[in-house]
């Protein structure tokens, strides 16, 4: 997910050319208070007039701030694909925004439920309530972690290895998996430090995150490099699924590959590898063995 400042007309126009899976137009941290009114109208206009090759969401200001409701009223009329709530802490916040979106969908003639939601957890309270937030509305598609605010709330600082966020990241993955929604990691703001960025992407992939937020187009391909399965991984996944299909045809409950037993979790992981590969164009279903 690539953030683009909502007060930057050039980024609003060109955000779709960099190859991100998702774009988030930011009305919160990237926009100063004097610019918030103009920014939300810029974003609404961009959503109406530009066609983007990927899903597009809007990070609103928190619903408790003087700008949150105005953000929603303005941008919902242009039908973003999703709304991202920052600093989520309770299920009641999610339910309130769900109600506002439902009213807007009816008012503007949009299909009910067509605008999704996600929230970023940026405090211990939000982390404790992550599962309840993720299940508070059928619109919820993902949880995210806001690393900078979370670390600040812990009264510590960010380190290169990310030790201070390890527990929070793991707990957020648990909550998302239990709720059945995606989970997205925080941004890495030092765009010059590609080595540490790549190490962080490797870490969050190993923890189970579905993707990472980025603040600069240069970081997009680095995320793809880490998340794209290798040829060896794709080949092995194909063989696992081919063995599974063969066992089904033989109506056999025993599945083996090169003398090793294949069980249900291995089949699930193989399917996930091919799904990732297909998402980045490294595999097509017709290539199945």
- Distant-in-sequence, close-in-space partners of 199: CB < 8 Å, separation ≥ 6: 160, 161
| Element at 170 (helix H, strand E) | helix 166-179
By mean pLDDT, which of 1-5, 14-18, 27-31, 259-263 is the weakest? 259-263
Beta partners for residue 236, in sequence order: none
Length of the chain: 289
The mean pLDDT value for 173-194 works out to 96
pTM recorded for the entire structure: 0.89
pLDDT for res 250: 82
pLDDT in tens, 133-149: 999 999 999 999 999 99
Buried b (16+ CB within 10 A) or exposed e, 35-65: ebeebbebbbebbeeeebeebbbbbbbbbeb
Q: What are the tens digits of pLDDT across the range 107-119?
A: 999 999 999 999 9
Q: Is the pLDDT of residue 202 over 70?
A: yes
CA-closest candidate to residue 38, choices 70, 69, 13, 84: 70
């Amino acid at each position: 997910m690539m953030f683009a400042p909502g007060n930057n007309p050039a980024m609003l126009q060109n955000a779709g050319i960099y190859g991100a899976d998702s774009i988030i137009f930011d009305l919160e941290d990237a926009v100063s208070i004097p610019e918030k009114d103009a920014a939300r109208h810029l974003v609404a206009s961009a959503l109406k007039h530009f066609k983007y090759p990927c899903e597009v969401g809007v990070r609103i200001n928190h619903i408790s701030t003087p700008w949150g409701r105005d953000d929603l009223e303005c941008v919902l009329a242009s039908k973003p694909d999703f709304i991202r709530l920052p600093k989520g802490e309770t299920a009641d916040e999610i339910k309130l925004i769900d109600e506002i979106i439902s009213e807007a969908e009816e008012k503007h003639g949009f299909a009910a439920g067509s605008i999704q939601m996600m929230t970023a957890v940026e405090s211990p309270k939000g982390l404790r309530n992550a599962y309840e937030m993720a299940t508070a509305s059928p619109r919820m598609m993902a949880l995210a972690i806001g690393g900078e605010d979370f670390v600040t709330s812990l009264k510590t600082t960010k380190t290169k290895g990310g030790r201070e966020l390890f527990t929070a990241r793991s707990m957020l993955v648990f909550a998302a998996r239990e709720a059945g929604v995606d989970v997205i990691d925080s941004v890495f703001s030092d765009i010059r430090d590609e080595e540490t960025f790549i190490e962080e992407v490797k870490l969050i992939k190993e923890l189970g995150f579905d993707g990472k937020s980025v603040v600069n187009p240069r970081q997009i391909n680095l995320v793809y490099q880490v998340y794209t399965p290798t040829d060896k991984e794709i080949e092995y996944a194909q063989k696992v699924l081919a063995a599974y299909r063969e066992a089904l045809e033989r109506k056999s409950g025993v599945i083996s590959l090169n003398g090793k037993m294949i069980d249900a979790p291995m089949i699930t992981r193989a399917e996930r590898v091919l799904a990732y590969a297909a998402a980045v164009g490294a595999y097509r279903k017709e290539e199945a063995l």
